[in-house]
Structure 1
Amino acid sequence: MRRALGKCVPSQLVLFDFLAPRLYTSSRTRSLTGSTSRPYLQVSESAARNISTTAKTRATATKSSILDAASNSEGDLSYHAAHLYKCALAGDILSVWSAYGQIHSEHRRLVLGPEHYGALSMMLVKKYDHILSTADKSDEELHAMEELAFACAGAGYVDGLRQMLVWRLVRSESDKVISAFERFEQTLLLDESGLEKVTTPPDADTVEDDENEELRLANPDISRLDIANIMAVTVAAYAAQERFQDAVQFILQHPTYRVTGDNMETLGEELKACGMYQGPRTALVPMTRYYIDAGGLALLVQRPEAFKAHLRNLVKERRVGHRLDKLRARFTAAFNGKHAWAAATESQQSPTRPIVVPEKIWAHLIHSYIVLRNEDSARALWADVIRWGRQPGTEMFNALLEGYRDVCHLPKLLHTWQVMEKQGIPFDARSYGAKLGALVLDREAGHYSLKLFDEFKATRPNEEDSLFVYNTVLNNLLLRFQRKRALALLDEMKKRGPQPDIVSYNTFIAHYAKLPDLQEIAKVVRELTEAGIEPDVFTFTSILSALLKTRISNGAERLLGIMDMMGVKQNVATYSAIIDSQVREGTKVGITAAWQVLQQMERMKDVEPNIVTYTSFLAGLHRSRELDKDLITSISSDVVQTMKKRGMRLKLGTYHILLKACLENPNPEALDFFMDYFNMMRRNGVPLWHDTWYIILDGLVRREEWDLATEMKNQMLDSGFQPMWGVAKRMRLIESWEARNRKGLGTL
């Protein structure tokens, strides 16, 4: 039966047999969470991803594991490592420290495997969980615990270290927390052999909308979530000393690891259990959350494109208006609050206001309000910006122009243009592009559009800026089916500049693809090839669209032939992008085309599809609302079997994307596919992390599948997983529904 769920199976490690601290202590975990003798640490992501029983670890030890060593000699490193492991399980700190010292003195720490560090880290969690004063442990034991915590962190097991930091925070030893993070930071720069690592911060400007990024981040190092959790404790240490500016600088100095208010949720519960909400320390948790929010926003405003991507994601949410208002309130606090940190202009910049908010930030936020048709909030923000000391310039006015263009409100766009003229605000290429883009909506504005275009050319803009406007005019002319004028303009560009780019030619290809006119497409393809311009994914998807509309058999095969004729180098990335663009349409035609391209790739020697290709296709397949269940079942089964034959295993990131795709499809049968993938995860021993449970519970709550959500919640708790952050919130929603259902009150 689809909704009949068994118990979650512990992970069987694909690459390493890490000891799983959580499973080893799962029988005690849930009772400990209700204890008041805390702090108690939620098991970290690094530990959670390596769930395995002690027996499993012993049976399948890696070559670095020496648990089954034959020698029991007192001076044998194997003996000391095995002795260390046994003492860790027994909780004998000083014996563990002695054994570790013997191994360390021989400079042979690499003989210790994941099973040793896992046991050590969980031993430390338990010890710090039960000591509330130094009287419970000798100075020697406390020193040993701290050194072992750093040793485990260096090997990727951070639970013990974080619990040590929380314990010191409870004891009002904030300086020691801060200095401990500085020491921990050095472990992020060294691998276990002591060699410096080369790390590259993620490009937040580009990864925010890339769901396949999860497939590329799998690595055995300490996870960013673990680091962010440790950073949250460090920010709390700054908050305990009321060092706001230092806390913000601390966050700004660590842009790679994104610490957010969510990292405070579990920490807040731990501190509350330790009495940190009592007396003068009552405000520590909300103060820390404010520090984190302020630092995160200060970091974000320095990267306008990342801020734009953040807004783009917010606009997709249901309560986007509420979220944008909260964001605006955070800006208000940044300029007017007790802990103001923002400056409107460089002249206002000071040691206490180190961050200048660029005009682009306000432009992106105003544009979001206009697109959401919330002009009142846009108007209020405009007034705030002026009050804070910045006079609106071209960037902010362009946000209005582009916003009104995007919502097809030509009168307001023209009024904004007039205001710019009266106030002497200079127009740039984006200004003209927005106005020309809006005029195409007015059937009687054709003559005025050309006049405006001549006006723009008279300003003699540089070639890079003017190309954007020229391409806008080309698009306008073709939308009006004024093909001769469009071709004449293209010839003018070739002779006088700016030289046409791939966007120029793609505009014509897309136009002919709608007709469809394959002969004209062929002419454009020859032109861009002769001009030495490289086609892009949009070029190929437009050509494929035209082939499908003409109902030519083997359209995908014909496309690959055209690409070969154009001299396009065969590569997986290009073909995968074509597949992704087709499946994202969600149409039966698009899915069919993508399926054809995928099958062609499988027959090619040099361009075999990879895990990203297959994942993208499967996700699009399960999002489609036009295909019937039998067809989806047939295609998805074929793809999964092909992946197995090619030696590809579905990894956690793949499952995340597929689970989310199934849950986002409102069709009832989508739940069947969701359960298929969930059960496949369990059969294959794939560990369920925090992100996994969040995707599952959030998707079911959004669908209001309360019965299945309840079963999943119970499965999660039975597995020993400790819900936190967003997962804990979704669990509370489910429990609220359960309570209402028992009373016969129905849904939330």
Structure 2
Amino acid sequence: MLKHAVDSADPRQAWHVWRVLSDRHMLRFLGPVQTDMFSRLVVTICAKRGQYSAWSDLEKKALPEFALCAAGSGVSHGLRQCMLAHILDNNSQAVIELYERYWALLETKAPSLEMFREEDQGSAEPEHDGDSPTGSPRSPAAKFVRSDIFLATITAFAMQNSFAGALRMALQTTVRAPHKHTLPWLKLLPDELRKRVEIFVRRLDAAKLLARPSALAKQFSNLTRDQALQAIQQLYRRIMEGLTGPDRWLTVSQTQKDADKLLVVPELTWPSFITAFMRCRRTDLVQKLWDDVTRLGIRPPLPMWTALIEGYAELKAPHDALSTWNLMLNQGVKPDALAYRAVIYASYHSGEVDDALKRFENFQHELPKMSPPPEEGTVLVVYNTILHGLLFYNRDEQARALLEHMLSKGPHPDIVTYNTFLRWYARNDQLKSLAEVLQMLEPTGLKGDVYTFSIVLSALMKVRDDAAQIMLNLMHRHGVQPNTATMTSIIDHQMKTQTEVGFRSAFDLLGRMERGEIEDAKPNDVTYTAMLTAIHRSDWLGKEVIDEYRQTMWDRMKDRGIRPKRATYNLLINACLDNQDPDGVQQAMRYYRDMTRKDGFIASDTWYILLRGLVRRREWAVANELVEDMRQRGFEAPGALAELIRRVRMQASQAGERKAGPASHF
């Protein structure tokens, strides 16, 4: 009967079925097939009627019930259409009331909804309770709100011009609005409302990051790793507009007027931006940020100074780092352990080892006075930094003396400490000293990690044919069971050394894994991908050798029935484009062609990696043909990718480069 009602779009018959089930208390037993039927019926009738005011009295009573029941079971398209009907009828409050009923329903049904959770809804937020905006436990419904319902409710608040209401709603959940869902939704709205919803979505995207520090830190880590400068700048502009624009929705202090209506920008935001801009080599943007922060009435806190010093050191501008340190002291800012670590790193990076030692001695002198006292782990980071500097400049006697001090008086060495010594002795072929450090390590109870065993393997490969077996024996002594993950990590570490010894040891381990000589360590797609990416990044292997190694890896994967995934292709394309040899573009485009031939589907992450690499290499002609390929496939690009496309089109238009393209590299 229900199927007939759906097929004939008969709400009266469906309502009869609903009433019977409701009277018998059987609605909770509806399965996915039945809830999907109810939802499809709502979509069909909404499409015919349009606005809510065109619904019949029965439909006004029945359709919301059908839609909510289905949405509470994870099928949301009916509820979305109900909300859209209210929006087109200019009744924003009805949308909000539907959302509140939906939320209450999710709270009761959350445990049974895990199978319906959206995989692509854009949530990048940690889900543990401690990271909620208020610090209070988050509702069990938080991670089950569907992105289409989220967008419809944002639209309702936008109709009321109530960003505060939208913000309160958004911060309850972990959901974000993916670009691929937002664009189709916006096309359904009137022009003026569409623009306002776009603004709300952009602000809420930034707000949800700012409200949860760990989510913000993760976002910065991802953007900085990819050097996604455009996206970093976009986020910065949104935050500054929220602080200084006419529709202010951010504040830098809880004590400001109307703080209860504004979201506070966490202090970690500013040093995170400094680190991101520095890693993109944009000191001009750092200077602008510093000026902006000062104009906002903020006295730059210690983490900002530390991030600036670290940034200059990583840019190999140690004199700027030391000047920043001195300026910080002159302004009365007292350094903590991490600030000392940054300036010590900058000092030995400039070759001033004695200066680094002097600053380390100052740190030891000031340590007892620091309030609050730093954790031992933080103090250990400072000690490990100076040890690294001493060994880098061949001050091994001073480094060993400091290690003895740590063993007797603390802070207690960790595996990083021992690995620092192992790496130095391995590079200098001092195998006796390396063995002594391994002997020191065993009684401590510390377990070696991937770097420990990889360092040992690299050292022994130079002198022992059985180096791999010795390394495996060492792993067993440390209670570390060799498996696919650990072996793959060691292979990856060996390949990244970009040396003949490293390559030889990696291939030796791979052979052992393939032959089944290492129990629980069969090579997988990650293993082969690690080797292939290192091969493509190598700047010392000739083209013929690279081609040979590449073919060998693909043949081995094929023999083992391992089919490359999209992530595999993405990593390989990125590795090829990182290699500055002209052949890198050809290799990348070969993988692109292989993807299109095998699957035909290219996702936005692949397009972004390809286009970003081509733009970085100023391969404008190839990039322009790639953009044209995207257009022909009907692909709609999200944010950062859309900006890349704009740059390519502008450059191609100016240069008139439309001759060579991907075909010239195949």
**Residues 290 and 579 of structure 1: is their aligned pair in 2 closer, same or farther, counting only changes over 3 Å?**
farther
Task: Report the Cα distance in structure 2 between the residues aligned to 1:465 and 1:426, rounded to whole angstroms.
Answer: 16
- Return the alpha-carbon distance in structure 2 between the equivalents of residues 570 and 113 of structure 1: 45
> Is residue 2:269 matched to residue 1:361?
yes
Structure 1 stretches lacking a partner, 5+ long: 1-82, 208-220, 645-649, 683-687
Q: 1:305 to 1:662 in 2, by over 3 A?
A: same
Is 1:339 paired with 2:258?
no
How much does 1:671 deviate? Answer: 4.3
Percent identity reads: 26
Residues 674-713 of structure 1 mapped to structure 2, 5 A cutoff: 674-676=592-594, 681=599, 693-698=603-608, 701=611, 704=622
> What is the aligned partner in structure 2 of residue 243 from structure 1?
162
Corresponding position of 2:187: 269
Q: Deviations over 1:616-636 (max 9, x none)?
A: 643652574156345434433
Match of 2:619 in 1: none
What displacement does 1:518 show? Answer: 3.6
Judging changes above 3 Å, is the alpha-carbon distance between structure 1 residues 195 and 123 closer, same or farther for their aligned structure 2 residues?
Answer: closer
Shift of 1:368: 2.9
Partner of 2:365: 458
Quick one: which of 475, 478, 489 aligns to 1:563? 475
Q: Deviations over 1:274-317 (max 9, x none)?
A: xx12xxxx1x3332233333333233234445434433433455
- The answer on 1:287 being equivalent to 2:196 is yes
Question: How far did 1:589 drift?
Answer: 6.5
Q: How far apart, CA to CA, are the structure 1 residues paired with 2:308 and 2:641?
A: 40
Distance apart, 1:562 and its partner CA: 1.7
Q: What amino acid sits opposite 1:561 in the alignment?
A: N
Name which of 378, 391, 396 aligns with 1:478: 391
Higher relative contact order (CA 8 A, sep 6+): 1
Change (3 A) 1:733 1:696: farther
Corresponding residue to 1:494 among 407, 410, 418: 407
Partners of 1:162 and 1:88 in 2: CA distance: 18
Structure 2 counterparts to residues 317-328 of structure 1, below 5 A: 320=229, 322-328=230-236
Question: Corresponding residue for 1:252?
Answer: 171
Q: Report SS of the residue matched to 2:255.
A: helix
Alpha-carbon distance in structure 2 between the residues aligned to 1:435 and 1:349: 39
- State the TM-score, normalized to the length of structure 1: 0.71
Q: Shift in Å at residue 585 of structure 1?
A: 6.7
Q: Distance in 1 between matches of 2:93 and 2:477?
A: 67
How many residues in Structure 1 have an aligned counterpart in Structure 2?
Answer: 615
CA contact (8 A) 2:145 2:175 kept: no
Is the CA contact (8 Å cut-off) linking 1:518 and 1:546 kept in structure 2? yes
SS across alignment from 2:306 = helix
Q: Could you say which residue in structure 2 is the equivalent of 1:28?
A: none
Q: Distance in 2 between matches of 1:619 and 1:157?
A: 40
Match of 1:128 in 2: 46
Letter in 2 for 1:530: P
Match of 1:415 in 2: 323
Give the aligned CA root-mean-square deviation in angstroms.
4.3
Is 1:618 paired with 2:529?
Answer: yes
User: Superposed, which structure 2 residues align to 1:319-718 within 5 Å?
Assistant: 320=229, 322-348=230-256, 350-443=258-351, 445-461=352-368, 462=374, 463-548=376-461, 550=462, 552-553=464-465, 555-570=467-482, 573-582=485-494, 593-594=505-506, 596-597=508-509, 600=512, 603=516, 607-608=520-521, 614-615=525-526, 617-618=528-529, 621=532, 624-625=535-536, 626=538, 628-639=546-557, 641-642=559-560, 655-664=565-574, 665-666=576-577, 667=584, 668-676=586-594, 681=599, 693-698=603-608, 701=611, 704=622
8 Å CA contact 2:277, 2:286 repeated in 1: yes
- Give the counterpart letter for 1:457 in structure 2: Q
CA shift at 1:726, angstroms? 5.9
The farther-off stretch of 177-186 and 305-314 is: 305-314
Q: Deviations over 1:359-418 (max 9, x none)?
A: 322112123334444333322322222222221122111122111111121222222222
Equivalent residue letter for 1:235: I
1:85 paired to 2:41: no
Contact conserved, 1:583 with 1:617, CA < 8 A, in 2? Answer: no
1:120–1:152 contact (8 Å) kept in structure 2: yes
- Residue type of the alignment partner of 1:655: K
1:74-126 CA-partner distances (Å, limit 9, x unpaired): xxxxxxxxx43354344333334444555565566687665555555445434
Distance in structure 1 (CA, Å) of the matches to 2:287 and 2:272: 14
1:137 is aligned, of 55, 62, 87, to 55
Letter in 2 for 1:621: L
Report the CA distance shift for 1:190/1:608 in structure 2 as closer, same or farther (over 3 A): farther
Displacement of 1:471: 1.1
Q: Which amino acid aligns with 1:259?
A: A
TM-score (norm. length: structure 2) = 0.79
Task: Please say if residues 209 and 215 of structure 2, whose CA atoms lie closer than 8 Å, have aligned partners that are also in contact.
Answer: yes
Q: Is 1:158 the counterpart of 2:66 in the alignment?
A: no
Q: Which has the higher helix share?
A: 2
Alpha-carbon distance change, 701 to 143 in structure 1, aligned in 2, over 3 angstroms:
farther
Q: Structure 2: which amino acid aligns with 1:521?
A: L
Q: Deviations over 1:615-659 (max 9, x none)?
A: 364365257415634543443343355357xxxxx7xxx733123
Moved more, 105-114 or 134-143: 105-114
Equivalent in 170, 176, 195 of residue 94 of structure 2: 176
Compute the displacement of 1:526 (Å): 2.0
Distance 1:286 1:412 in 2: 44
Task: Report which stretch shifted further, 499-508 or 331-340.
Answer: 331-340
